[in-house]
Each structure stands twice: as C-alpha cells, then as structure tokens.
Amino acid sequence: MKKILLSLMVFALCFGIKVNAQEQKTPDWKRWHYLSEEEMNTPVRAVNFTETPPPTGTPRFVAEFEPMQGVMIRYPLGIPTSLVAQLSNNCQVYCIVSTSQQNSAQNTFQSAGVNMSNVHFVNAASDSYWVRDYGPWYIFEDRNPAIVDNIYNRPRPNDDNMSGVFANYWQIPMYGMNLEHTGGNMMEDGRGHGVSDELVFQENGNNEANVRQKMRDYLGIDPYHVTIDPQGDYIAHVDCWGKYLAPDKILIAQLPASNSHAADYDAVANYFATTNCCWGYPYHVYRVQEPGGSTLAPYTNSLILNKSVYVPLGSNSNYNQQALAVYQEAMPGYEIVGVTNNDWYTSWENTDALHCRTRGVMDFNMLFVDHRDVYHGEEEWQAEYPVTSKFIAYSGMDLKQDSLLVYYSIDGGAYQVAHMTATGEPDEYVGYITGYQGGSEIDYYVFGADESGHRYTQPVFAELDPHHFTVGPHSPSGELVITPTTLWFEQIGESKEFDIINETTNDIVINSIESNDSYLVITPSVFPETLPAGGTMHVVVDFLVPPTKDYIERTITISTSVGIRTVTAMLNSNLEDWGLWIPGSPYVELTVNEPQAHPYVVNGNYGSNTPIVITEVYEPTSTSHSNVQYLEIEYPELPYTLGVSQNFELTVRVNPNLSKDIKDYVETAICIVSDQNNVTYYVIIDGELLSINEVSVETKVYPNPMNNVLHIESNNVQSVAIFNAVGQQVLFVENTNEIDVESLSEGLYFVRISDRRGNSVVKKIVKN
C-alpha cells in the first residue's frame, strides 16, 4: 500500500478530483487495485470480452482446497523465488511469461533451486502479476473441464485476455459470463456455495438479480453469500479478510475491539456462524487475529495447494505464530508453511499478498466424493444409518468397487469399515453404520478410489476431523431386528453383510439361515445358535455366480425360535460376456487347519454364448509346466470343453513331498489357459506346511500393524508387492527395504517379498 499512495494522489490530481484526508477512504476508483502510471493516465481501455450462453451441462465451480494439478504464477514475479521452489515440489507450476523474458525466468528459477521438470512456461503478454484476480475460473461442466471468463475490473487488456490464453492452452471450452468481477473477491466451496462482498453488486449496476442469475447459470453458485466489506477501505476483496478452509469451515480476520472496523468483522463472522454450510449446519468460524493499523498481517491471503497451506507472514512474530496455529487447528494433517517476502518492490501488503499473486489449477482427473446428507448433532434413532455419497471419477476411469467405503467409530473405538454399493442412481453409493446403542457418539468419513490412482475422502481431514453425530435415545423394540434388510450386489465375488440384533429380553435360537438360490453362500452356516438378549449376530453373504438378467431378487430366510425373518438380496447381472472367470476372491489360503480346497470351483462359463475349451493348467512358479513346485492340482482331462453355464473344478493340495519346518507364508499361482481368455488363481500357503527358500528365513517385516513405513529385514530383497484382502496389487517397489505405505487404507494386506533368484515369501500384515 505504501508504494502506491503517491501514484494515487497523482491520479486524483490528473483527473481533477478534490482530495482530502476524509475523501481518500471512499472514492470508487480506489478499488482499482494497484494501478500503474500508464493505467492512471489511460483509465478507459477497450474490453476484449465475448459473452456466450452458459454451459449446457451442470457446472461445478471447484474449491481451492480440492485437488490441484498445478498453480499459476506470472513472471516478472510478485512472489519470492524461494516460494516458487516450494510450489514446484508440490505440483506443476504454470508460469505466464512473454517470449522475450522466458530465458530470464528460466535462469532465475534454476538459480533458486526450482524443480524445472515441474515448470511449464505459458507464453502470453500480461500487465500485472495479480493472476488470482484475472486468471481463469476453472469449472467442471458435468465431467469435462471448462473455463468461465468474466470482465476483469481493471483497465488491463492483456490480463483480461488470460482466460482465453489458458482455454487455448488446455484446449477446453470457455464460457463468457457478462459480469464485471475479480478472483480476489470470490470464494467457493466446490458444492455450490459462494462468497463475495458487496463490490460485485456495485460493479454491475447494483442489479442483484442479474448477478445471482449469472453466478447460478455459469458457475452453479447458489446460494451466493454476498456480505458487507468489513475492511471498508480500498480493495474490497474477500480474500483480504476471509477464506474457505473446507465446505464447513471459514476463516475470518479479527481486529482489536478498539479498531473502528472491528464490529464489521464480527458481524460477518456472526453471519457465517449462524448460516448453514452445504452440509446442513452452521459454519465453523475460525478467527485469525490481526493488530490493525500499519502492522502487516495478511493472514487470510494464503494459498491452499493440495495438502499444504502457504501463509504470508506479517511484521509481528507473535501474531504470525498465532495465525499459523489457527490454520493448524482448523486443518489437521495439513502442512502449514509460513512465507516471508522481504523484497521492497513486491513485499506483502495487508490487502495484497500470496493469494492475490497465485491461482490453483484444478486436477482435471480428480475423484470427487460428495456426501451431502451429512449426519450431525443428535440424530433420531435408526436401526442403521445409511451413508449415501456420489463418487465422480473425472478421469473417466472406473471406480474401485472394493474401495468405496464408510469408515466409522462408535464411542471412540477403533474404526470399522462398511463397503458401499450402488443405489441405482447415477454415481451414487450407500454404506451402513450399524452396531451402536442409544446415545452413542459416532465419528465417520467416506473414502473412495478409482482405477486412475486418485483417492479422496470427505471430510478431507478423514479421521483427524471426521463428521460427528450423536445417536438419539433408544428403547429396545422388544423385537428381533435385521439390519439392513436389503443387500445390493453389483459384481461377481462381492460380499455383503447384515446384522441380526436381539432386542428382546430373552435368548433367541437361530435355527438356520438359508437362501433360495445357490448363487449365494452364507456365513455362518452351522446352526442352531443361541443369540442372547442384547446380542448381535454378524452374517456375511457372498455372491458367487451371476444370474442371466439385470437385477433379480433372491430371498434369505432366517428361521428362529420367534418366527421367520427375511433379507432380500438384489443380484446385478448387467455384465458383458464373462467368458472364463474366477468367482469370489482370486486368492485362497491353504493353512495347517485347512490344507486343501477340495473341490474348488475355479472357473465358470456364465454369460458366454459359446463353449470354452480349456487347454492347459499349470503352476507358473515351477521350472516347467509339468513340474509343480508347491502344489498338487487335480482337474479333468485336457482339453476340456466347458459348456455354457458349466463349472470347471480343481482340487488343490500342498505338495506332500515338501518338508514342514518353515514358518510364514509363500505365494504361488495356478494359470488356466483357454481358447477365449486366460485367468490366474493365486494361492497363499502357510509356511508351516512346507520348506521354502532362503528369503523366508532371513526376511522379517515390521512393524505389524504398520503405519506409514514398512521395514523389510533381509539382504536379498529384489521386489516387494503388496496385495489387498481381495487380491488386488496395490503397491510394487524394487530394491528397497523401506516402503512408504502411508497411502494405503486401513485393513489386511499380503506382502510378497521376492529375492533375486525369483523365490518369494508372503506375509500377512495389518495397516492401522
């Protein structure tokens, strides 16, 4: 601010404006943030703007705290080169630079230790470094990235062209929204809520209805929270006094009570503290202390970039530390980075700092988790709480059906996992929270992953700051309660669960649990079993073989001493030609308690319209197909013609000629070759059944349970592969004994450790 006071006075004199101490606080032209001498002398310039119809698809304006593929800056810089280096190690850096200055930019960055492999120079003319204000507004139109352009509220034609530059750079559509607006005066939560101050109305003829309609049509913003400008001076940008930290969290600056604007800041904070966020309850408002006056404290003008927050530091160390602590409290698990800028020409100002000079570029391939009907406060008792969420994989890749999960904790206990299944609505899945009592405290969050490797949670802080609610009072019904009463199966080999809860005062005998369809396998299977008063029986249902038409309904009958109860199973067979496939998990474990699978249905020709000819069955770990190393496999004589809807059964045993003095686990496989497709069936063998190679003797893995790093104790490690409980490889590394497993979700895993001779050992391990 100090650097432009003289220029502002010159501007006033040039245009015959009478200036005194009182009038300097209110003239409209003061909102023209940081005018150059040239701009002051030519305040009216042609606007290069083309209005277009709004998107025909549904727009979603992505929030700053969502996944970002990169960050936009401009050269010559308005930020320290040391910050550019930090940003380049977080994501891609898109640097706007003229062709004549690109070599200078490159040399400057290299000298500062910038990761140049993550820097992309975008050649374009620009007028200033306030890329936040003039940069493109990135949206998704349905599942496709697009840009919304508006009229930049400064007389800077090159800056105002920047949306078009990046629409061409990305080769994505651009929509022209005929509003005068600026990025510094816009916050959005990624779920349709937005915040600006009243400048947006003033700059558009005070036509409030028109502003709201365009924000809704082009950006999907509704409701649009337009507040007073509490700072009451100069720039009137929301990022100078407030910031979205999450869909339900907002940061508002706070001034000492003696400051003349303190009451206005408090009024805005109170507005959000009494206004519902997108999840149906009032915002959590965090206050960051600013001393006011000439003391530098630009704390709300920060940049959130993936799991880091870059906070511009002021001139008072005590206030700096308090500000960093507020961010850390509000955003647990994030890296909070304080950033100083001591350059005289580009140093931070209270109304212009780090946020004004950067702009995130949304990840065009992100995974979006959108659970809207969030439970909060005290919820009326239900036998189960369905958690419904949409999962949008913008990459176009399939969702990982076994990685759509609800994690929940009851009364502070360990987190449990509920798998989510499709509801039949587009992109929508549901999982169930069960097993609580009246008055229980529930923490929960939703997790999703897709085949592109993208993962996301809601809330983004996961177990560090989950959704929370209290179960309402509950008096036992005096009935036998089944929850849930409908199971939705989407794919072959899927498992679903339900609970039988005895809410009577007497023991109940469960005589049997049976299905009217051989497609379903139910566990437990041994009855009768007595369920005591207040007790719960957990039942697992596996869908082994697909039917032949869309969804069909099957019934599970529960016979008890108090009558018959039923559970409905909806089986989805809307699949393509399956050909040769493996029902259930492609893993089976042979242990000392169950040394063989006899017989085991490995392959079924369901969905194929023609017979399949099986030509070969072998164990690929052996030196030749006929020399089985770990297993004895019995199967029908080959070639074997597998008719439509027929099964091919194998008997699998551990080779009895192997000794039994080695611990741990070893992995092998069975390959089945046919004239249509080939499949592989993995077998985990308890090492107590056989003697294996040197690597198993030498190898140890720890800690167990593992947290963020898994250690392998062995001198012969060539590669390590980690598989989840359903046999999917989730991690593979080579030539290392320390493995970063922080990205893995909680649960059971198999770790396969291979030496340089191709020998391997498999160990079970749990991730907390």
Active site amino acids = 356
Helix (H) or strand (E) holding 255: none
Tell me, what amino acid is at 114? Answer: V
Report the side by side order of strands in the sheet with 738-740.
Answer: 700-702, 709-713, 738-740
- Nearest-angstrom CA–CA distance, 266 and 264: 5
Q: Roughly how many angstroms between the first and final C-alpha of the chain, as a whole number?
A: 50
Contacts of 23 (CB under 8 A, 6+ apart): none
CB atoms within 10 A of CB 310: 22
Question: H helices of 298-445, where?
Answer: 317-330
Question: In a 10 Å sphere around its CB, with 0-12 CB exposed, 13-18 middle and 19+ buried, how is residue 552 labelled?
Answer: middle
3-state secondary structure of 238: helix
User: Look-up: residue for tokens 């000392």?
Assistant: 592
Report which of 184, 221, 181 is spatially closest to residue 203, judged by C-alpha positions: 181
596 bridge partner residues: 653
User: Look-up: residue for tokens 């498992």?
Assistant: 495
Report which of 300, 232, 291, 298 is spatially closest to residue 30, judged by C-alpha positions: 232
3-state secondary structure of 129: coil
Dump strand ranges (E) for 352-463: 359-362, 367-370, 377-379, 385-393, 405-410, 416-419, 421-422, 428-433, 441-449, 455-458
Tokens of 75: 């050269």
Tokens of 722: 């980690």
Q: Give the CA count within 13 Å in the CB-facing half-sphere of 90.
A: 25
- Nearest-angstrom CA–CA distance, 3 and 36: 11
Report which of 683, 685, 687 is spatially closest to residue 664, judged by C-alpha positions: 687
CB atoms within 10 A of CB 596: 14
- Nearest-angstrom CA–CA distance, 570 and 554: 6
Please enumerate, as own/partner, the contacts of 549-558 that have beta carbons within 8 Å and a separation of 24 or more.
Answer: 549/573, 550/574, 554/515, 554/516, 554/517, 554/519, 554/520, 555/515, 555/516, 556/513, 556/514, 556/515, 556/520, 556/522, 557/512, 557/513, 557/514, 557/515, 557/516, 558/482, 558/500, 558/510, 558/512, 558/513
